[in-house]
Structure 1
Amino acid sequence: MKRSRPQLLITALLFAAATQASAQTLGLESNIGQPAKATPATRTVFVKMDDISYGQKSIDVKPGETVRFVLKNEGALMHEFNIGKAVSQLDHQRKMAALVKDGTLTPTGKAKSIVWHERSGLGDSNPPGIPEVVEAIHDDPNAILVEPGTTKEFVWTFSDSANLNFACTLPGHYQAGMVGEFVMR
């Protein structure tokens, strides 16, 4: 079967659009950078989180620079440090709202539940199995949750993408102003 040039072009464009859409579904945006590991030369930026604000409204970064963020949550609520463009952060807000609505996330942390594993070969037992505490998963590569009273590190290598923000996408936090911008220099 032979395809004409316009059909091949249309197929290539559809594949590219699907690839980008699936990357954004996975929490990735094209060309915003990537998670990294800190080295001795990595610059460190301290970010204070409060209810409901960041300690700074802008952070200067260079294209290709790796930055180690030390995130200290001094507030009473859990917060997120999400790197992305405004459009993807608005989409991520819907996902975070769904996680809060279904009880996976609480205002102060990740929900924990108990899963019972069956005991084998022990006959009748009380309790009926072995309990395991399971914590909710939030594994977006461009974001980290920081519970109240904790400090976490997040290392990121920036691309040359403009219009990048850092934001908390938990329900109501972004709308209350918990968003800042990365200034490319």
Structure 2
Amino acid sequence: MQQINRLSLALLLAGLLLSGQVLAHGEPHAGQHSAAVIKEQKPWGIAGDREQVSRTIEIGMSDQMRFSPDQLEIKQGETIRFVHRNQGKVLHEFVLGTQKDLDAHAAMMAKFPGMQHDEPYMAHVGPGQSGEIIWTFNRAGDFDFACLIVGHYQAGMVGKIRVVAE
């Protein structure tokens, strides 16, 4: 029985690592991606190119566990440069996704709070720092963003994005 439990645990961990869910989270990256950005189509869009930025949107992050603004409307096809300003005294992050994806990621963060990840649709911003991501919203729909640091998401550090069809 104990051997089966060890095997199950090993398979679970291997599956998580291979799925890309457990990548990087401990140290703040100040919202910058050091390696070349891998462009992968997501339901909420794809990593954008700096030279194609349509506009810049500044997002404030606070220790009251809020984003400002927390509601955005974007036109399908726009490439947005998000500038995140952490006005607080603790690390915050900005992660784009669907509600389902954010819920799953938040659950994973609760189980493995020291996990590390760095994807083009997220920025980790240290206290008093700023970071950015560039994202192309090439699909219409309602999407979400959140700070998935344990306790922040649960306290309501979330926002909504409506991408309006061309």
Give the TM-score of the pair, scaled to structure 1. 0.62
* In 2: Cα distance, 1:180 partner to 1:70 partner: 15
Higher normalized strand content (fraction of residues): 1
Identity fraction in percent: 34
2:62 corresponds to: 50
1:75 corresponds to: 88
> In structure 2, the residue corresponding to 1:169 is in which secondary structure?
coil
| CA RMSD in angstroms, aligned pairs only | 2.2
Structure 1 unaligned runs (5+)?
1-21, 106-136
2:139 corresponds to: 160
CA deviation map 1:68-125 (0-9, x unaligned): 001000111111111101110011112222442xxx36xxxxxxxxxxxxxxxxxxxx
Contact 1:79–1:147 (Cα < 8 Å) also in 2 = yes
1:150 corresponds to: 129
> In structure 2, the residue corresponding to 1:164 is in which secondary structure?
strand
* In 1: Cα distance, 2:140 partner to 2:131 partner: 25
Give the TM-score of the pair, scaled to structure 2. 0.69
Contact 1:29–1:88 (Cα < 8 Å) also in 2 = no
Contact 1:33–1:159 (Cα < 8 Å) also in 2 = yes
Matched pairs, number: 128
* In 2: Cα distance, 1:86 partner to 1:55 partner: 19
* In 2: Cα distance, 1:38 partner to 1:76 partner: 29
Structure 2 unaligned runs (5+)?
1-15, 22-39
Query: Which of 3, 17, 20 is matched with 1:26 structurally?
Result: 20
Greater gyration radius: 1
* In 1: Cα distance, 2:80 partner to 2:112 partner: 29
Amino acid at match of 2:77: G
Distance 1:179 1:29, change over 3 A: farther
Contact 1:26–1:140 (Cα < 8 Å) also in 2 = no
